[in-house]
Amino acid sequence: MFKTRIYIGLGITCMTLWLTSCKTPALVTRTENRTVPVNYNTGQDTLNTGKVSWREFFTDPHLAALIDTALGNNQELNISLQEIQIAQNEIRTRTGEYLPFVGLQAGAGIDKVGRYTRSGAIEESTEIRPGHNFPNPLPDFLLSANASWQVDIWNKLHNAKRAAAIRYLSSIEGRNFTVTNLVAEIANSYYELLGLDSQLDIVKRNIDIQTNALSIVRLEKESAKVTELAVRRFEAQVLRTQSLQFDIQQRITETENHINFLVGRFPQPVQRTTQDFNTLIPEIMHAGIPTQLLQNRPDIRRAERELEAAKLDVQVARANFLPSLDLSAAIGFNSYKPTLLLTPESFLYSLIGGFTRPLINRNSIKALYYSANAKQIQAVYNYERTILNAYIEVANQIANINNLQRSYDLKARQVDALIQSTNISNTLFKSARADYMEVLLTQRDALESRFDLVETKVQQLNAMVNTYRALGGGWK
């Protein structure tokens, strides 16, 4: 009676520990905020330029050819393709974990036991059949098939496989985001190159104008209308402009090589349009509504996939607190003689199944659970930050386009005024009604204003490209 009570008490204690071990610790969770503003303060038109294919958006054939080549040769893009392959292989790994493992085993060995040991005494006193004892040493030959299977009763392994599949989709979105940035970077560099070409052409024309003015000043000096100081100041202006030419040529070389790097080739001349740079007109951009960013932006889609995978990781870590069911089986032949290996008497099989659950010292399981939850919260913050960053990028670029257009209009009027001032100052100088310093300063201001106008045009084109990228364009 006393023993019965002891067994009952032990059973109740074990059951209590078992049930207690299945409880999971409480967590502090966070739910992601998916809301975005209704618009960009520019209306609620759903027309979105980000949905336009880059082949339709960039109509310059030279730029399209560069982008096409880069999509096949760019090293960073090819690295991201290998990351996709790695993620795909991870799915195969996770899939195999919840399927039975089956293997074939063949082995041979020999065992010599001491005669005066327990095993030796038993073998010596035991006859295999009348008149025949166990051989000593005892050979051992085995041929069997083994199987093991962890039954996924809590969907732990299936959730791990689903998390791997979602991360595979995330790697694809990462590749799309790389494409978006690559297309935008090539386009920005291409327009910068066109702007440098235009500036170089302006410098060359100014060199001709200033050289002609220097010749006139020298004639004026011979007729004693001006001094040697005026000749030297005009000469210094020509030399300054000539040195500026080589600075621009260096920038052209570096920009061309940057494009070549993005395209994945060694330095070579970059083919580009010969159209007058000032006639290039940026495309009219349609921002649509902010909610479209959730579908158009690859970085937001990637952050969303990472968040989904992190949630599944928490479920996988939680399943570690629950009992696991393991099955193992074997079937084959075992004999001490090779000739007897395939006989019915040598046939063997086994089947074992059992539940396992750690009762004490679960710190490692708790640590994994808490870490998975912390990573999930990180993924929530990253997702919200990505959405916020995308909205701000679009809002900034829309404002940038509007402000650059106003700036360009004013600078264009400034250039016209300074060109007229240059012509007037030259005329007045020839008639001795203006000082040579007025001519030099007017020429310098006109050159700088034309440079500023070209740079503003480049900024306009870059703002167009950056808006297209911020809207999620370029990867489709």
DSSP of 174-231: HHHHHHHHHHHHHHHHHHHHHHHHHHHHHHHHHHHHHHHHHHHHHHHHHTTSS-HHHH
Q: CA gyration radius for the chain?
A: 40
- Measured between alpha carbons, how far is 275 from 252 in angstroms, rounded to an integer? 17
**Least confident piece of the model among 269-283, 376-390, 428-442, 443-457:** 428-442
- Measured between alpha carbons, how far is 418 from 209 in angstroms, rounded to an integer? 15
- Is the predicted pLDDT of residue 143 greater than 80, yes or no? yes
Q: What's the CA dihedral at 200, 201, 202, 207 to 10 degrees?
A: 90
Please name the helix (run of DSSP H) or strand (run of DSSP E) that holds residue 93, with its range, or none.
helix 75-97
Q: Give, in words, the CATH class of 100-151+323-356.
A: mainly beta
Query: Can you read off the two tokens belonging to residue 381?
Result: 């913050």
Pairing of strands 127-129, 138-151: unpaired
**Least confident piece of the model among 19-23, 165-169, 466-470:** 19-23
Greater confidence (250 vs 101) lies with 250
Q: Please give the average per-residue pLDDT across 159-178, as a whole number.
A: 94
- Measured between alpha carbons, how far is 268 from 178 in angstroms, rounded to an integer? 24
Question: CATH topology of 27-98+153-321+362-470 equal to that of 100-151+323-356?
Answer: no
**Ramachandran region of residue 348, left (φ > 0), alpha (ψ -120 to 50) or beta?**
beta
- Is the predicted pLDDT of residue 17 greater than 50, yes or no? no
- Measured between alpha carbons, how far is 202 from 261 in angstroms, rounded to an integer? 28
- Is the predicted pLDDT of residue 390 greater than 70, yes or no? yes
Q: At what angle do helices 228-263 and 156-222 cross, to 10 degrees?
A: 160
- Is the predicted pLDDT of residue 430 greater than 90, yes or no? no
**pLDDT number for residue 16:** 46
Beta strand segments in 20-175, E: 101-111, 127-129, 132-133, 138-151
- Compute the C-alpha angle 100/104/106, nearest 5°: 150
Q: Please give the average per-residue pLDDT across 134-140, as a whole number.
A: 75
The pTM score is: 0.84
Pairing of strands 324-335, 347-356: antiparallel
Query: So where are the chain's domains?
Result: 27-98+153-321+362-470, 100-151+323-356
Q: Rank 34-38, 123-127, 358-362 by mean pLDDT and report only the highest.
A: 34-38
If one looks up domain 27-98+153-321+362-470 in CATH, what number appears?
Answer: 1.20.1600.10
Counting every residue, how long is the chain? 476
